[in-house]
Structure 1
């Protein structure tokens, strides 16, 4: 199985994951396309001998059911988990969770899109609301919901060690069951967006914006920086784009672009050792001073002050 790194950024690859957790690769998985494994949280924390999972991007998808008091950091957001939660994570956005007490248990599974695509379900993970950037794919759960989800994880955990010839096909169905469970927890407005012309333009804009990220090396440069850049790519007038975005999001085109660049800047400052000049260049700023002024205006911090 190829565990090649996906870029120069601090990314937790599958190889890094198994090294850090001292976990074994499941027997027979090398015969499969893609990768899958499932774990008990308490077992992994015991092997790691630490309570904090690194805040970074992972080169795989992850679904977790967590019981215990935790603080989840997702992109540049912080979400308090009081008791139980279901968490969905995508390779596009860094995250971690920091346990706030010693009583931590639950399950999580990791998998690549290549593994799930073999299900022939037609599901494209990054098209699902659960894995869309800018959302909150963490759901507080009732005791009954925890039991439902834990039952699915226990079936995956048991099946992984079985000698059933089609166990990975069955596991793919369990993953889809977890995804659909999460989808049902999503607000209806998220699952069934409006299909008006303006909504379609807004959706295409957000999709185009997110395609510019993540920035994975200092040599990668943001191609689209201005409202006109996006309007030209979408073949609409910049005033029309601004109007529909204002109607659908309450924000101007420039506000949305600026917010996403600031979010990526925060991630790069915290999660890489790139110098400020490299970060400025990758985000489309020709001069460091312009980036520093931009970042200070948006956050009230100088880039180096935010990093420290």
Structure 2
């Protein structure tokens, strides 16, 4: 069983909570497209002292959490301490984990697959939504008023999941979209409203293609695309056109954006795996360890061994 699959998620929750109410997948969801469920954080915290820390990894589903309590959230190569209410959007593309500092945790979270939103006419693909795109703000601190406004959405989800209403999943999709759009309205304006021009379109296609090169799951896996020309060829545009579009929309060159993303993956592999530096260098497309070490030091100021500690 894939340890990051939905099946593994439910198996782990059931083992840790002795089948607590609401943690098993609903039987009627088998008739649905995709998957959705909602959970009460306080219920799942009851047996936390017997539970190992959450693993740092990518999951096979999306997750939106409304949390309140002292905790630490790690995602990609970021780590953020949370002291008050916050809304957190976790994508299946980025590894993450939540580390509560104490038992005094409240809130809700919902999980869903991209297919769950397919029946919504005209809905964007999940990864096209600004809040789930690279460069977005996945963790949003909330004011007391914002927290009060968002909490009832999760409460309605929880209530509806327990109902026998024939069309409850249609209603749950509406609640999920309400939650996503409420979160996007809290995003910085530049992220809320991406420009709809030719350069922005090319930049969006490039970003999607760049993110699809990851994760590198084993040392034997090779990074498929490595240079600006590789990406330009894959997108069927001239490399100069790609570079100009990215410069216009992001302020960075194609090479810089690729290097930044490769460096981010290198940091994650160094911290989260036992791969050797040589294996990481090879998977990321470097000719030898020396070239990788020089690249990594330019990006981070440290050699790989010192960064890994």
Indicate the TM-score class for this superposition, using the shorter chain for normalisation: 0.7 to 0.9
Report which stretch shifted further, 58-67 or 286-295.
286-295
SS at match of 2:86: strand
- Work out whether residues 221 and 281 of structure 1, in 8 Å CA contact, stay in contact via their aligned partners in 2: yes
Compute the RMSD of aligned alpha carbons: 2.4
Find the residue that maps to 1:215 and give its secondary structure.
coil
**1:18 Cα deviation after fit:** 2.0
Q: For the residues of structure 2 that align with 1:80 and 1:107, how far apart are their CA atoms?
A: 18
Q: Equivalent residue of 1:106, what SS?
A: strand
Secondary structure, aligned partner of 1:72 = strand
Q: Where does residue 132 of structure 1 map in the other structure?
A: 133
Counterpart check, 1:221 vs 2:222 = yes
- Say if 2:41 is the partner of 1:41: yes
Instruction: Give runs of aligned pairs for residues 1-308 of structure 1, distance below 5 A.
Output: 5=2, 12-22=4-14, 23-49=23-49, 50=51, 52-308=53-309
Residues 284-293 or 182-191, more deviating: 284-293
Name the count of aligned residue pairs: 300
SS in 1 for 2:47: helix
In structure 1, what is the Cα distance between the partners aligned to 2:52 and 2:130? 29
Deviates more, 1:169-178 or 1:116-125: 116-125
1:303 CA displacement? 2.8
Give the SS at the match of 1:28: helix
Q: Give secondary structure in 2 for the equivalent of 1:63.
A: strand
SS at match of 2:81: strand
**d(CA) in 2 for partners of 1:195, 1:33:** 30
Distance of 1:51 and 1:263 partners within structure 2: 26
Structure 1: any 5+ residue segments left out of the alignment? 6-10
TM-score norm. by structure 1 comes to: 0.87
Contact 2:72 2:101 in 1 (8 A): yes
**d(CA) in 1 for partners of 2:102, 2:122:** 39
> How much does 1:183 deviate?
1.7
Aligned-partner Cα distance in 2 for 1:125–1:177: 14
TM-score normalised over the length of structure 2? 0.86
Q: CA deviation at 1:280?
A: 2.2
Please give the alpha-carbon distance, in whole angstroms, between the structure 2 residues aligned to 1:120 and 1:195.
21
For the Cα contact (< 8 Å) 1:51–1:98, is it kept in 2?
no
User: Aligned partners of 1:167, 1:249: CA distance in 2, in Å?
Assistant: 41
Gaps of 5+ in 2: 15-22
Between 1 and 2, higher relative CO (CA 8 Å, sep ≥ 6) is seen in: 1
- Partners of 2:301 and 2:125 in 1: how far apart? 39
Show CA shifts across 1:90-127 (max 9, x none).
10001223334542110001111122323445331011
Contact 2:72 2:100 in 1 (8 A): yes
